[in-house]
Structure 1
Amino acid sequence: MAKRSGPGGRPARPRPNPLFEAGITYIDYKDTNLLRKFISDRGKIRSRRVTRLTVQQQRAMARAIKNAREMALLPYASTPR
Structure 2
Amino acid sequence: MSDRNSHQDRDNDKGFKKRGGRRPRRKVCYFSANKFTAIDYKDVGLLRRFVSERGKILPRRITGTSAKWQRQLTTAIKRARFLALLPYCD
TM-score, normalising length from structure 2?
0.69
Query: Residue deviations 1:16-51, cap 9 Å, x none?
Result: 222223332210100000000000000000001011
Unmatched 5+ residue regions in structure 1? Answer: 1-5
Unmatched 5+ residue regions in structure 2? Answer: 1-19
> How far 1:56 sits from its partner (Å)?
1.0
> How far 1:13 sits from its partner (Å)?
4.5
From 35, 45, 52, the equivalent of 1:33 is 45
From 29, 47, 70, the equivalent of 2:82 is 70
- Which has the larger Rg? 2
Contact 2:39 2:76 in 1 (8 A): yes
TM-score, normalising length from structure 1?
0.76
Structure 2 counterpart of 1:24: 36
CA RMSD after TM alignment: 1.8
| Residue identity (%) | 45
**Aligned residue type for 1:49:** R
Aligned length: 71
